[in-house]
Structure 1
Amino acid sequence: MNSAYFTNNTIVHPKFFFISGFNGIPYTDYYYVFLCFVYSATVLVNTFVMFTIYTDHCLHSPKYIAVFNLAVSDLCASTALIPQMIDTFLLKSHLISFEACLTNLFFVFSFIAMQSFTLTVLSYDRYVAICFPLRYNEIVTNKSILVITAMLWIFAVMANLISVMFINTLSFCRSTVITSYFCDHGPIHHLACNDNTPSAVINWTHPVITLWFPVLFITGTYICIGRALLKISEASDRLKAMKTCTSHLILVSVFYLPICITYGMCSFIELNARIISMSLATILPPVLNPIIYSLKTEEFRESIKKLYRRRCTAQKK
């Protein structure tokens, strides 16, 4: 154990934490193969989405700025999580240093928060487009989306720096076994043997801010969208407006439902089942998001065709 001092009290930090993760779960080797496949696909599709949006000036619009940011968040979240999981459980490197654990916690939660916030920005885009169509270009501009995105990044980083700071004030003099598949905030602060009230408050407020508030905001925007759709007299126009929301609704369901269900039923779900369900809830959205939101969009498909034709023309020359 290493010792540090904080406000005249001895703070004991372990040299290492032990991540128990998938111990006792059968056939986990197959799961690690699945993780490798998912991570490779995540890198491929998100990089392709970012490249396409960056190279095609027709996609330099507020919506696709948010989609680009979602692809960045998805790629970073997977990179912060999956390689560490493979190293920990497939290569049996269950020990992780205290500093590396806090670093892993900071990056994982920062990027997951940005995934959630970006889905909220996309719901705001759909809300303005349907409820205020004549003022859309005035309200939602490239500049406004860039400013909102930058502010959300700053907020996510600062919130998780505060979270790490409070964990750094905890003392660990008993078990150092983290019952999760990464350096998760909740299991870590439960290991503390000094007063962990501030950290417990952070552990409670963090999901409220990064998950529940966005869910409430998205729900509110879609209630307003539903009311606006009911006012459209032509059924064809109503259907066309609804189609613009379909991809985003699927995206929201894929991201929030598994996490909300697992959080809501955590006291009824066995530990190993909870670990598996939470790991799936965090690794699958980054690979599904580009397919659902980008590759199914007509504008994006046209951009892909344009890039393909440009490449074929260049090869002929």
Structure 2
Amino acid sequence: MEGGFSNESFQFYLKINHFDIPPVAKYPMFLLGVLIYLFSVFCNLTILVLIVTQRNLHKPMFVILFSLPLNDLMGITVTLPRVLADIVTLEHSVYYPTCVLQGFLLHMYGGGILFILAVMAFDRYVAICKPLRYNSIMTPLTLFLLIASAWSLDLILIGVLFILQVRLPRCKNFIKNIFCDNPSLVHLSCGSDLTVNNVYGLSMTAAMQVISLSVQLFSYIHILVACLHHRQPDTRNKALNTCLAQIAVFLLFECVTTVTILSYRFKDVSPNLQKISGLLIFLILPVCNPVLYGIKNKEIRKTLVAIAKKQKDVST
């Protein structure tokens, strides 16, 4: 059996691609990855704890925002620790059910970003374009339905994708990427008709993009029109600033995803660069999102400053 796997282990264990790292750079890379992971976990947990514990943040916008760091934590936790462990242990193998679970959660993370940003954009549309009706529209029931719809739609679409994938018979045991994803798992099959998988995968990806982009374009175009017609510069600037972080997150996600796709289309791109670009999808947003919202969102920034001053006063 390829790579020294027995027939029994072939059913349960897969070989997985890895970074080509010189021995001298192994531990510095591992340390850098650990620091990135700890920074992301600390920042995202801080945002989550603030939203839960601070009453001034118990508002619809922050209830919706709660899903974003939660999704980011899922994305980076499912990806980075396993890659870092592989750098040190040099095992380059993964248990098949664990591989499927990782792929499922990583695709949930990608879809989650699109749907959560769409819900956040709709919330800002109501807040800025219909301020007098905001509280009557964004009721607790509406919030629950919006958030539940985002996560449920993501779960259903990705669930069907992986149901179609796990039904395929396997005759290979090598994951081409450094993490498990649906395309890598589909490539483990041989002699199977992949038409349904390919058509559904492309259709699902397109549907996610169209839904998210349509809601965001509708919301931000109306917000822009409302701001242009508003006579008070302070109010106009405040309205625009509330949307900048969300737009930046969406553009960052789309740019990183596009760069990753393009890196696999050009033969001259080094394998390590391709692997890094793929990994960045699950690293950049979990690291940048809490910083963006901590800096751009005035209420979160004020809350952090107030807590820091209070702790300083207590310690002195």
TM-score, normalization by structure 1? 0.85
Taking the aligned partners of 1:183 and 1:132, their CA distance within structure 2 comes to 44
Taking the aligned partners of 2:233 and 2:313, their CA distance within structure 1 comes to 42
Aligned-pair CA distance for 1:253:
2.1
**2:299 partner amino acid:** E
Q: 1:210 to 1:40 in 2, by over 3 A?
A: farther
What is the CA RMSD across the aligned residues, in angstroms? 2.6
2:14–2:175 Cα contact (<8 Å) kept: yes
Is 1:163 aligned to 2:161, yes or no?
Answer: yes
Is 1:95 aligned to 2:89, yes or no?
Answer: no
Aligned-pair CA distance for 1:257:
1.8
**1:290 partner amino acid:** P
2:114–2:209 Cα contact (<8 Å) kept: yes
Aligned twin of 2:300:
300
Taking the aligned partners of 1:27 and 1:259, their CA distance within structure 2 comes to 31
Aligned-pair CA distance for 1:54:
0.9
Q: Deviations over 1:19-49 (max 9, x none)?
A: 1142479986344333211110111011111
Q: Deviations over 1:170-197 (max 9, x none)?
A: 1222x42222121111122133211222
Aligned twin of 2:31:
33
Give 5+ residue unaligned stretches, structure 2.
2-9
Aligned-pair CA distance for 1:145:
1.9
Query: 2:15 is paired with a residue of what secondary structure?
Result: strand
1:61–1:142 Cα contact (<8 Å) kept: no
Query: 2:66 is paired with a residue of what secondary structure?
Result: helix
1:106–1:160 Cα contact (<8 Å) kept: yes
Q: 1:204 to 1:296 in 2, by over 3 A?
A: same
Residues 223-234 of structure 1 correspond to what in structure 2 (within 5 A)? 223-234=221-232
Q: 1:28 to 1:164 in 2, by over 3 A?
A: farther
Q: 1:31 to 1:210 in 2, by over 3 A?
A: farther
Taking the aligned partners of 1:160 and 1:26, their CA distance within structure 2 comes to 38
Moved more, 265-274 or 42-51: 265-274
Residues 1-317 of structure 1 correspond to what in structure 2 (within 5 A)? 14-23=11-20, 29=26, 30-173=28-171, 175-193=172-190, 194-263=192-261, 266-268=264-266, 270=269, 272=271, 273-311=273-311
Moved more, 256-265 or 126-135: 256-265
Taking the aligned partners of 2:308 and 2:138, their CA distance within structure 1 comes to 30
Q: Deviations over 1:97-138 (max 9, x none)?
A: 221111111122223322222111111112222222222222
1:22–1:28 Cα contact (<8 Å) kept: no
**2:17 partner amino acid:** S
Taking the aligned partners of 1:27 and 1:160, their CA distance within structure 2 comes to 40
Aligned-pair CA distance for 1:229:
2.1
Taking the aligned partners of 1:27 and 1:109, their CA distance within structure 2 comes to 34
2:242–2:296 Cα contact (<8 Å) kept: no
1:53–1:60 Cα contact (<8 Å) kept: yes
Aligned-pair CA distance for 1:254:
2.2
2:51–2:57 Cα contact (<8 Å) kept: yes
Taking the aligned partners of 1:122 and 1:294, their CA distance within structure 2 comes to 16
Q: 1:233 to 1:296 in 2, by over 3 A?
A: closer
Query: 2:72 is paired with a residue of what secondary structure?
Result: helix
Give 5+ residue unaligned stretches, structure 1.
2-12
Taking the aligned partners of 1:295 and 1:308, their CA distance within structure 2 comes to 15
Query: 1:282 is paired with a residue of what secondary structure?
Result: coil
2:103–2:180 Cα contact (<8 Å) kept: yes
2:18–2:177 Cα contact (<8 Å) kept: yes
1:251–1:293 Cα contact (<8 Å) kept: no
Q: Deviations over 1:276-310 (max 9, x none)?
A: 11211221111111110134322112222333455
Taking the aligned partners of 2:127 and 2:41, their CA distance within structure 1 comes to 31
Identity of aligned residues (%): 25
2:249–2:289 Cα contact (<8 Å) kept: yes
1:131–1:228 Cα contact (<8 Å) kept: yes
Bigger helix fraction: 2
Aligned-pair CA distance for 1:274:
2.8
Q: 1:16 to 1:230 in 2, by over 3 A?
A: same
Taking the aligned partners of 2:89 and 2:208, their CA distance within structure 1 comes to 32
Aligned-pair CA distance for 1:311:
4.0
